[in-house]
Amino acid sequence: MKGFGFYKSKKYLQRVLSSILLSMVIVLLASSFANTYLLEKSVKRIQEDSNLKILTQMQYNFSYMNEIITHLSYFVFKDNLLIPLMFDETLPKMDLIRSYQRMSSIMDSSSFLHSMVVYNHTQNEIYGTTSPFLLDGGVTKKKIFDWLLDPSHMHETSRLIPVSLEHEDGQIDAFAFVVTDSLKPFSRGESAIVLYIKSDWVFDSLKKMNDTGSRSQGDILMGDQEGRLYSSHALGDFAQSSTQDDIHNYIMNHKLATNEPSGFVIGDVDGKKSMITYMADPIPNWTILYVQSYDQLMAEVTETRVKSLLVSGVLLLIAIGISVWLSYKLYHPIEDMLHRIRFQHPRDEHTRRNEGDELHVMSENYLALSHTLQEISSEHIVNKYYIRKFLTDGQMFSHHDMIHLIEKHRLNIVYPSDTIVCVLRLDHFQAYASTTDLALKKMHSFAITNIAQEMMSKTYPCEAVEVWGDHVILIVSRNDTATTSEMDQMIPILEEIQQTIATYYDLSLSCGLSDPIAQLTQLSSGYTQALQNSLYTVIFGYKSIITSEMVKENNANKRVSIPEVIERKLSESLKKGLMTEAGIELEKAFSLFATFHYHDIHRAVTNLAWVIKYTVVEIMENRVTKMSFNVDYIHHIPQEKETLEEIYVALLALCSQICEGQKPSNVERNDMILETVKELIHQKYADINLSQQTIASTVKLSSAYLGKLFKDSCQLTLTEYINDIRLKHAQQLLENGDHSVLDIMEKCGYANPSYFFRLFKAKFGSTPKEYRMKKSIS
C-alpha cells in the first residue's frame, strides 16, 4: 500500500510509466499479430504452390497416360485378330476364341488396364474380357452398353473419360478411352474399341505423393462441366449436391476474377472453411480439384499464434517490471531535484501540488529561486565591485569608509588584523588566450576564483576576485597574534590550490605574495607589490610562489645591462664557430639577468638577442653560402618565451646551430678557387697559351700551390684536367662536325699535331681519323 500511495502521489511518474507501458504493450501485441499474419500468408502461399505442383503433376500424368493409351489403342485397333470381332456380321467360333485370347494377352501385358470392350455396330453387340462382364448376368454389359450408346452424351474419341463401372455413388473406378476409325465423336453407326484404365493408377499415386510431401492432407476430386464431383473413393462430405454447387460456384467466380485456368480459393464447404485448389482441362471439359480443410492446414499457424500470445503475455509481465524500473530511473533525477528545491521554501509556505504534476511544482520553485538568485547575484556583483575598488583605487576610500562597506556587504575581511594580498597568475597566458574560447575562459576564471577562496577560507578569512582575466586576487586576513611561522602556513595552501587547478583543469598558476598590510587603505599598494612579485616567474619558473624576501636583491639591483665584454666575447665565439666559449659567455649573461629588476630583465635579454642577430648577419655577409635558419626570428625569442630558462635554452640552441652551420674559412676559400679555375678552363680551353702557369697568374696564386690544391681536391693534375676538357670537345667535333682534324686540333687549343694525336689515342684508343671513320661507319 505504501508503494501504491507513493505511485499515486506522483502524477508525472504515472504519465511516464503509463506511456512506457502502453508503448511496450502496443509493440508486443502488434509484433505478435503481425508475425502470425505473415506466417499465415506464408503458409497459404507455400501450400498453394505445393497444391499447384501436385495438380500439375497430375495433369502431366494424364497427358503421359493419354499418350501411352493412344499408342496402345493404335496397335489394338489395327490388330488382325480383333478386326473380325469389330466388323464381321457373323463371327465363327474359332475367330471369337482367338479374339478373346488376343484381348486377354493385351490385358495381361498392360497392368494399368482395368478392362477392354469391343463394340460391333453390325451385330450391335459388345464383347468384354473381365469376369464381371462375363459372369454378373449382363449387368456390367448393360451399364457399358447404355453409357456407350447414350444419345445424350457424345463421347470424344481418343480421349480419357472418367467413368464408374462398378460404383453407383459417383466414385471413379476407371477412365474410358474410345477408339474408332475416325476422329469424330463416337456414334452408334460405327464399331469401336473401348479401353478402361484403372483410376488408382492416377489417384492413388498422386495421393501417396501428396501424403508424403505434406501433413495437410486433402481430397483429390474431378468435376465435370455441370459441377458434379467424382473421386476414386467415397465422396463423403462432397456427396451432397449443394456442396458440389458451392464448390463449382467458388471455382467459376475465381476463374472470372482471375481469368486463369488454375488457382486456389478459400470458402465454406459443407460448413467447414476449406482451401480449394483447382486446375481446369487436364482432361477436356473436366477440372481437377484438391480440397483441404483450412483448419487442418493452419493448425501449425494456430499453434504458433497461441504460443506467440503466451510468449507475449510473459514478455508483457517482464515489460511491466521493466517499465516500473525504467520509469522510476527516469523519474529519479526529477525526485532528487524536487528534494533539493523543496528545502528552499519557508516551512509555512504551502505549494499547490494538487494543481499540477511535479514539473509544475519545479517550475514554481524555479521561479521563486530565480528571483532569489537575482537578488543574490546583484549583491555578489556589488561585493566584487567594492573588492576591486579596494585593490585598484584604495586611495579613494578612507579607513572608516572601507570598514563601513565591509560590514554593510558582509565581506570576509577581518580588521584590525594584518592582511596579505595573493596574486594567482596563469602561466603560458599568451598561448592560453589565443587557443581558448571565451566561454571556457569564463568558466576557468570562475572555477579558479571559487576553488582558491574555498580552500584558503578553511584556514584564513578570505575574499577572492578575478581581475583582467589573467590573474585572481586573494585578500587573506591573518589572526591578530600571527607569527612568521603561521605566515608560512599559507604557502602549503597555495601549493594545494595550484595542484588542484592543475589536476582538474590542466592549468598552471604562479603566485605572488605581498608583505603583511596593517591598514586597509594600503590594499592597493599590497596588490601592486603582489602583482610585481608574481612577474618574477621569469626567474623562478612556472608554479612558483614568490614573496618579497625572494626578490629583495632583484628590486635593489640598479644594473640594467650586462658588461660589453660578455657581448663581445659571445660575438667573437660565434664568428669563430667555438660553441664551448659561446655557451660559457651565454651562461654568464643569464646568471646576471637573474639578478636584475623585472623591468630590466626583458630589455637586457632583448639587447642580447639583437647582438646575436647582428653577429649572424655579419657572418652571413662574409660567407658565400647562406645559413639555413631565419635571422628575423632571433629577436622574437624573448617575446615568445616567458622564463629565463626557456629563453636561455632557445638562445643556446640557436648558438649551437650557428656554430655547426659554419665551415672553416680556408675550406670555403679553396672551394671558391677551384670553382673559378674550372670555369676558366671551360671558357678558355681553345686558347693555345692556356696552362697551369697562366691560370695561377690569373687567380693570383703560385703555380705550385694551385697545382697541389687542384691535385688534392680533384685527384688529377691541372694539366690533365685541361687536356681532358679539350679532348672531350675534340670528340664532339669529330662526331658532329665537318671540320678537318687540323682545324679541330686548333679549335681545341693544340698547336702540335703529334702531341694532339698521341693524347687522343691514349684517351680513346685510336687516332682522330680512325675515330671519325669508325663513327661514320657505325
| Sequence spans of domains, the chain | 71-201, 376-539, 557-662, 666-777
Strand partners, 231: 171
Q: With left for phi above 0 and alpha for psi between -120 and 50, is residue 468 left, alpha or beta? A: left
Over the Cα atoms of the chain, what is R_g? 61
Q: How far apart are CA 691 and CA 706, in angstroms?
A: 12
Mapping DSSP to helix (H, G, I), strand (E, B) and coil, where does residue 350 land?
Answer: coil
Q: What is the pLDDT of residue 369?
A: 60
Q: What is the pLDDT of residue 340?
A: 64
Q: What is the pLDDT of residue 380?
A: 66
Find cell 467413368 and name the residue.
163
Q: How far apart are CA 205 and CA 58, in angstroms?
A: 9
Beta carbons of 148 and 211 less than 8 angstroms apart = no
Topology, domain 666-777: Arc Repressor Mutant, subunit A (1.10.10)
Alpha carbon distances (Å) from 656 to 349, 578, 580, 593:
78, 9, 9, 21
The amino acid at 84: P
- Name the strand (E) or helix (H) holding 263: strand 262-269
Number of H helices, E strands in the chain: 31, 15
Please indicate whether the domains covering 71-201 and 666-777 agree at the CATH topology level: no
Residue-by-residue DSSP string for 569-593: HHHHHHHHT-HHHHHHHHHHHHHHH
Q: What is the pLDDT of residue 78?
A: 85
Q: How far apart are CA 585 and CA 567, in angstroms?
A: 8
SS (H, E, C) 96-122: HHHHHHHHHHHHHHCCCEEEEEEEECC
Q: Provide the CATH number for the domain formed by 71-201 in this structure.
A: 3.30.450
Q: What is the pLDDT of residues 402-460, one digit of tens each?
A: 788 888 877 888 878 888 999 998 988 888 888 888 888 888 888 888 899 889 888 88
Q: How far apart are CA 412 and CA 457, in angstroms?
A: 9
Q: Which residues of the chain have pLDDT under 70?
A: 1-14, 16, 167-171, 201-217, 232-235, 239, 282-285, 328, 331-332, 334, 337-362, 364-380, 394, 469, 479-487, 622-629, 661-669, 778
Architecture category of domain 376-539 in CATH: 2-Layer Sandwich (3.30)
Q: What is the pLDDT of residues 535-572, one digit of tens each?
A: 889 888 888 999 988 888 888 888 888 888 888 888 88
Q: What is the pLDDT of residue 724?
A: 92
Terminal-to-terminal C-alpha distance of the chain:
117
Strand partners, 289: 221, 278
Residues 6+ apart with CB under 8 A from 339: none
Q: What is the pLDDT of residue 511?
A: 93
Q: How far apart are CA 430 and CA 449, in angstroms?
A: 20
Helices (H), 110-161: 131-135, 139-148
Q: What is the pLDDT of residue 351?
A: 44
